[in-house]
Structures are given as structure tokens and as C-alpha cells.
Structure 1
Amino acid sequence: MNIWIVCEGEPLPINGLNGRLMRGGMFATQLALLDYRVTWWSSTFLHYEKKYISDELQTILVNPTLKLKLLHSPNGYNKNISFKRIRYSKDLGREFRKQSRKEDRPDIIYCSWPLIDFAYEAIKFGHEFNIPVVIDIRDFWPDIFIQPFPKRLQPIVKLGISCFLRRKVSYVMKSATSVVGVIPKALDFAKSYGRVLQEQDHVVHLAYDNTPVLTEESSAANFLWENYGLQKNKCIVSYIGSISNRIGDFDTLIEAAKKCEDPSVIFVFCGTGNYFAELTERCKDLKNVIIPGYRNRAEIQALLKLSTFGLLAYRNTDDFIDSLPNKFGEYLSQGLIILTSLRGASRQILEKENCGTYYQDASSLLECITRIHYSTLEKEQMTQNALNLFHREFDASQVYSDFYKFLEATAYVAKNKG
């Protein structure tokens, strides 16, 4: 089967680039290993690093069954929500429209949402050549565009956005062969733009590939954390992700660390981002905080094996309140008890499955850590519940295997209809 992955903004499997593969990347590489012919449409601009790897269209053969088509836009952006990024989206859509006609036609197209114009052109291509298109909703564009504006201006901005973009968004949502999403709210989003949900529309969680790293990589990673003084007998509370103050609620974490008088509790804030320098400066005198910067997959896996708790320390903005980010499954894979500041989907799942808890502020965060850490039976039960939930709903080997079968069946039905 020939499949196109239309997915921008994720790390790419190119030598010399950092970043662990995310959902689209995992789909592309795993499908290629299963002997599908895969073309991954992405961009020469790296979303997380905010830099280019080329100033022109690139075609890269990763292996005999996986090809990267990296489209180029001159409108690289610094802010994730910005007018320049909207222009960037339009550029990629226009380039996809031109370049897609030069490639062998696929049996099915999997397209992640956003970007709006990328998805819009993928749907148009699918209609033109009778090819099924599956839209995977991960972010609620354009609804989140109003967030940077003052509250008093948001109704006006929302009206303007609706005038300019609603037609395209509605076209995509109504016309997709199937709509999937990482949480149930994603399907509600599709409905809000006119889609009548169908049997093939469903939730596919952001799953995590828990394949063990190589022994030599694991040994080096363990040595790193030993040098930081981390041991299994400590109560390690880990945050893995972007160090961005717009996304992460680091004020609460810092306050909790300052208030914490238990010497066995250590906070680890792992990652990089535009708030990294300020976070490091604010925590420089805190002996119970470690900020090791960006770490590779082996080092993250080793850290989580040592940890008791995993932090989902996000602000309750419209685009995050109901999110289940990549690290949700990653924490569960090692049996971590998840502490979330989010009031939406993550809290509901954690409380239902008894494998984590919600905290409101620094005091309640510390109370959760202390209570669970010193209640051995509760801690062991929550750890086991986390592992059970992972294997049932967030293990990539199962979740994505089922999704690949779904893509294959969708392509088969479309082909036989034609």
C-alpha cells in the first residue's frame, strides 16, 4: 500500500537532528518497516528549533520505503500563534498543491491537524483523485488564535477569524473520509465545524513507544543521573517537556520547591525552550531542583525509571485544558503517578483510573506528593494502575497497530467503491 503522511511541525528522522519522533514520525517509520510505501510531507522549517534545514524544496530518501518531501516557505516564524505562521501555512498548502501532482498517487492520505491549508489541499487532492483522507485533530486551530489578544478584543478577533477561515475548516471537517482525534473533544471540534460524526470517526490516543534503549546507552544514562545524585530511594518528581512559560506553569512548581522541607523530594525539570534561562536563574539557589536541559531518549527513560511522579504542569488555556500530551503515555509507561494541573481530560482519566491526581496550587501539589509518597500501599496501587492503563490504552505497539489496520481497511473500502 502507498500512503502519504501529511504532518508538519514534528522532529524528522534525519541524521544530525535532535528530537524524538512523535505521532506522525512514528506512523511514517513504522509503516515503512511494515513494507508500506510511505511519503512523509513536511517542511524545511523546524517548528521546535525555529530554524531552517534548507532554503529550498528537499526530497530525502530515508530508506527504500520511506521518502521525505520537505516543502519550503520563506515565512519562518518565532511565535507559534502569529500572522506569520498563518502565511507559512498558506505557503505549505500552495507548495503541496504543486508538488503533489508530480508524485505517484497514494492509496490513502493521513493528515494531521493543524495546519489548515495543508489539510485543505490534502482534502482537495483526495476528492480530485478519489483517495480517502483521514484527518487527525491534535490542536484546535483556528479557535486558539484568539488567546494572545486581550479579553475585550477576543470577540472581535474571533469574528474576523471565522470570516476568513471557517469556510476552509468546515470544508476539511465535512469532507474527510474519517476524523480521528487524541481526545473526545477533538471530535466535538469537528462537529462544531459542521461534521456529522460517522462510525469510522474515533479517538486514537497519543501513544508511547516503550521499546527499551540499547544497554550501552542505558548505562551512560544511568551514570548521568548518578552524577546528579538521583537514586531510587529518593522521591523524584519529574517534568519532561518544553520549558515555555506560556505553556508551563513553572511559578507553581518553583513555589512548591521553595516550600518543600522534605530532603528526600527532588524536582527535575527536563527540557529546553524560551524560558529555560530564566527558570535556571530563578532556581539557582534551590538545592532540591535539577534542571539538566535537553536529554536524549535513553536519558529520559532512565530518569523516569528513577522517578515516582510525573508532572503535567500546564496552564488551563483553551488549547491545553483538555490535552493529553505525549508525555502522558510516556509517564504511564514507567508506572509514574501523574500530577496534573489541568482540570480537563487528564484529570478525569487519572481520577477514574486512580493513577494520578489533580493539584490546584503549590500547597496542594506538595500535599499530594507527601501523602502518596508516604502511603506505601496507595503508592504501589497507583503505580500498578498506571502500568495497566498504559498497556491497555497508550502502548504504541497496540494502539498504532490497530490504527494501521484501520487505515488499510479504509483504503481497501475506497478502492473497491471506485
Structure 2
Amino acid sequence: MRIWILKEGEPLPINNSNGRLMRAGILAELFSQKGSDVTWWSSTYLHYEKKYACDNEQTIKISTKFSLKLLHSSNGYKKNISFKRIRYSKDLGRIFRKQSRKEDRPDIIYCSWPLMDFAYEAIKYGVEFNVPIVIDIRDLWPDIFIQPFPKRLQPIVKQGVQILFKQKVSLVMKSATAVVGVIPKTLKFAESYGRVLQLQDHIVHLAYDATPVSDEDLKQAKDFWDQQGLNKGQCIVSYIGTISNRIGDFDTLVQAAEKCTDPSIVFVFCGVGNYFEALRHKTNHLKNVILPGYRNKAELQHLLKISTFGLLAYRNTEDFVDSLPNKFGEYLSQGLIILTSLMGASREILERENCGKYYDTTESFLSTISSINESPQLKNEMTKNALRLFKNEFNAAKVYDDFYSFLQVVANGSINKGTHSDGKKNTIKKNQ
């Protein structure tokens, strides 16, 4: 099977891109290992680092079955929601439209949403060449564009967003062969733009690849955390992710660290971002807070292995309240008890599976940590529940293997393969 993956904004399997592979990268490697010919269309611009990996279009052979195509836009952006990023999106869509016609036709296209213009051009390609398109809704573009504006202006901005983008978004959502999403809200988003949900539309969680790192890398990681003064005997509360105060609620975490009187409890906040220096300044006086910056996969694996709690410390904005970030599965993979400030999907799952707790104040955050930490039986029970949930629903080896089988069905068994510009339903049947 020949598969195209359209996804920019994730770490790439090249030397000058930091970070661990995420959904698109994991899928590309898995699909190629299963014998499919994979082409991953991405960008020369690195979303997390906000810098270019190279300054021109390139095709990089990752392995015999896996090629990486980097498209180049001169509109590198600093803000994730900005007019420059919209121009960047248009650039990639336009370049993909041109370059895709020079390549052998794929059997199926898997396209992440956003970017809007990647998806829009994927749909147009599917119509032209009768290729099925699976849209994976990862973020609620363009609905989230209104968030940076004051609330009093948001209704006006929303009208403008609808005028500018609704037709394009509706075409994509109505015309895709299948729509998948990371949480139920993503499928409701598709419905809001006119899609009538079908049997093949379903949830595919952001799963985590728990493949162990090498013994040598793990030893070096242990040495690093030993130098930071961490050990298994402590109650370690860990956060991994972007250090941004727009999406992250670090104020509550700092207040908790200031009020915490238990010397065995240590807070570790891993990552970089535009709030990192401010957070460092706020925590300089706290001996129970460690800010180690960006850490590699081995270092994070060891940290989580010796941690008790993992944090989803986010503000309840419209785009995050129901999110299940990549770190959700990563925490579960090591049996961490997850503490979430989000009122939506993460809270519902954690309370249902009894492997985490919701907090909304500094006091509830600290009391939850203390009550669980002081009850070995409860702690062990919640840890077992976390590991079971990971195995069943968030293990990339299972989740993405099932998704590969789904894509085979779509590619090989769909009636009226491809998409319809008028939004007519596509149906999928397994080969008899």
C-alpha cells in the first residue's frame, strides 16, 4: 500500500529537529515497517523550535520504504495563532498542489487537521485522482482563532472567521472519505461544518510509543537525575510539555510549591517555551522545584519511572478543556497518577478509570497529592489502573496497529474511492 501522510508541525526524524516523534512520525515508521511505501509531506519550518531545519525544499530518504518531503514557506511564524501562520498554511497548500502532481499516485492519503490548506488540497487531489482521504482532526481550526481577542470582540471576530473559512472547512469535512479525531469533540466539530457522521468516523486517541530506550541511554539519564537530587524514595510530581502561560496554569503549581511543607514532595517541570524564564524567576527561591528545560526521551522515561504523579496543568480554554495531549498516554505508560486541571475529557476518563484526580485550586491540588501519597494501597491501585488503561487504549503498538488495519480497509474496500466535492457520503465495505 502506498500512503501519503500530510502533517507539518511535529518533530521530524532528522538530525536538526529536536523532540520525540509524535503521531505522524510514529505512524510513518510503523506503516513503513509493515511494508507500505510511506511519503510524509511536512515543512522545512520546525513548529516547536520556531526555526527552519533547512532553507529549501528537500526529499530525504529515511529508510527503504519511508521518504520525507519538506516543503518550504518563507512565512515562518512566531505566534501559533497569527496572520503569518495563515499565510504559511496557504504557502504549503499551494506548493503541495504543485509537487503532488509530479509523484506516483498513492492508494490513500492520511491528512492531519490543521493545516487547513493541506487538507483542502488533499481533498482536491482525491477528487481529481479518485484517492480516498482520511482527515484526522487534531485541533479546532479555525474556531480557535477568536481566542486571542477580548471576549467583547469575539462574536464579531467569529463572524469574520466564518466568512473567510467556512466554505473551505465545510468542503473538507463533508468530502472526506473518513474523519477521525483524538476526542469526541473533534467529531462534533466536523458535524458543525456539515458532515453527516458515518460508520467509519471514529476516535483514535493520541497514543504513546513505549518502546524502551537503550540501557546506555537509560544509565546516562539516571545519572542526570541523580545529579538533580532525585530518587525513587521521593514523591515526584512531574510536568512535561511546553512552558507557556497562555495554555498552562503554572500559577497554581508555583503557589502549591510555595505552600507545600512536606520535604519528600518535589515538583519537576520539564520543557521550554515563552514562559520559561519567567517561571525560573518565580521559582528560584524554591528548593522543591526543578526546572531542567528540554530533556530527551531517555531522560523523560527515567523521570516518569521514578515519579508518582503526572500533571495536565492547563487552563480551561475552549481548545484545551477537552484535550487529551500526547503526555496523557506517556504518563499512563509508566503508571503515573494523573492530576488534571481540565474539566473535560481527561477528568471524565481519569475519574471513570480511577487513575487520576481533578483539581481546581492550590488547596485541592496539595490535598490530593498528600492523601494519595500517604495511602500506599490507594497509590498502588491507581498505578495499576493507569497501566491497564494505557495497555487497552493508549499504547501506540495497539492503537496505531488497529488504525493501520482501518486504513487498509479504506484503501482497498471503499465504494466510490476518494472524495466528492458535493459532500456525498462515501461508504466502506471490507473485501468479501
Report the Cα distance in structure 2 between the residues aligned to 1:56 and 1:161, rounded to whole angstroms.
32
Alignment CA distance shift 1:83-1:219 (3 Å) = same
What is residue 41 of structure 1 aligned with on the other side? Answer: 41
What is residue 52 of structure 2 aligned with on the other side? Answer: 52
1:268 aligns with 2:275: no
1:316 aligns with 2:316: yes
Residue 159 (structure 1) shift: 0.2
Alignment of 1:110-129 (within 5 A): 110-129=110-129
More deviation in 352-361 or 54-63? 54-63
What is residue 227 of structure 2 aligned with on the other side? Answer: 227
Residue 367 (structure 1) shift: 0.6
Alignment of 1:76-155 (within 5 A): 76-155=76-155
Alignment CA distance shift 1:238-1:417 (3 Å) = closer
Report the Cα distance in structure 2 between the residues aligned to 1:404 and 1:372, rounded to whole angstroms.
39
Report the Cα distance in structure 2 between the residues aligned to 1:101 and 1:416, rounded to whole angstroms.
21
Q: Specify the SS of the correspondent of 1:245.
A: coil
Deviations 1:25-83 (A, max 9, x none): 11111111112101100001110011112222111111111111111111110000011
What is residue 159 of structure 1 aligned with on the other side? Answer: 159
8 A contact 2:359–2:365 mirrored in 1:
yes
Report the Cα distance in structure 1 between the residues aligned to 2:414 and 2:41, rounded to whole angstroms.
22
Q: Specify the SS of the correspondent of 2:152.
A: helix
Report the Cα distance in structure 1 between the residues aligned to 2:24 and 2:193, rounded to whole angstroms.
24
What is residue 75 of structure 2 aligned with on the other side? Answer: 75
Q: Specify the SS of the correspondent of 1:171.
A: helix
Deviations 1:365-387 (A, max 9, x none): 00100011001111111000000
Deviations 1:321-346 (A, max 9, x none): 00000000000000000000000000
Alignment of 1:14-413 (within 5 A): 14-413=14-413
Alignment of 1:5-20 (within 5 A): 5-20=5-20
Report the Cα distance in structure 2 between the residues aligned to 1:223 and 1:14, rounded to whole angstroms.
26
Residue 284 (structure 1) shift: 0.6
Report the Cα distance in structure 1 between the residues aligned to 2:16 and 2:175, rounded to whole angstroms.
39
**TM-score w.r.t. length of structure 1:** 0.99
| Identity %, equivalent residues | 69
Report the Cα distance in structure 1 between the residues aligned to 2:236 and 2:54, rounded to whole angstroms.
41
Alignment CA distance shift 1:237-1:417 (3 Å) = closer
The count of residues paired between Structure 1 and Structure 2 equals 418
Report the Cα distance in structure 1 between the residues aligned to 2:68 and 2:371, rounded to whole angstroms.
49
Deviations 1:165-185 (A, max 9, x none): 000000000000000000011
Deviations 1:215-267 (A, max 9, x none): 00011111111111111110000000001111111001000000000000000
Q: Specify the SS of the correspondent of 1:76.
A: coil
8 A contact 1:131–1:414 mirrored in 2:
no
Deviations 1:289-316 (A, max 9, x none): 0001110000000000000000000011
Gaps of 5+ in 1: none
Residue 396 (structure 1) shift: 0.5
Residue 414 (structure 1) shift: 3.5
Report the Cα distance in structure 2 between the residues aligned to 1:207 and 1:148, rounded to whole angstroms.
29
Alignment CA distance shift 1:100-1:417 (3 Å) = closer
8 A contact 2:411–2:417 mirrored in 1:
no
Q: Specify the SS of the correspondent of 1:40.
A: strand
Deviations 1:119-158 (A, max 9, x none): 0000110111110000000100000000000111100100
What is residue 427 of structure 2 aligned with on the other side? Answer: none
8 A contact 1:39–1:69 mirrored in 2:
yes
Amino acid paired to 1:337: I
Report the Cα distance in structure 1 between the residues aligned to 2:382 and 2:17, rounded to whole angstroms.
37
Report the Cα distance in structure 2 between the residues aligned to 1:317 and 1:416, rounded to whole angstroms.
40
8 A contact 1:310–1:337 mirrored in 2:
yes
What is residue 2 of structure 1 aligned with on the other side? Answer: 2
Amino acid paired to 1:57: E
Amino acid paired to 2:153: L
Deviations 1:69-103 (A, max 9, x none): 11111111000001111111111111110000000
8 A contact 1:267–1:288 mirrored in 2:
yes
Report the Cα distance in structure 2 between the residues aligned to 1:15 and 1:176, rounded to whole angstroms.
34
Report the Cα distance in structure 1 between the residues aligned to 2:178 and 2:409, rounded to whole angstroms.
12
Residue 416 (structure 1) shift: 8.5
- Across the aligned residues of Structure 1 and Structure 2, the Cα RMSD in angstroms comes to 1.0
Amino acid paired to 2:46: L
Report the Cα distance in structure 2 between the residues aligned to 1:43 and 1:416, rounded to whole angstroms.
31
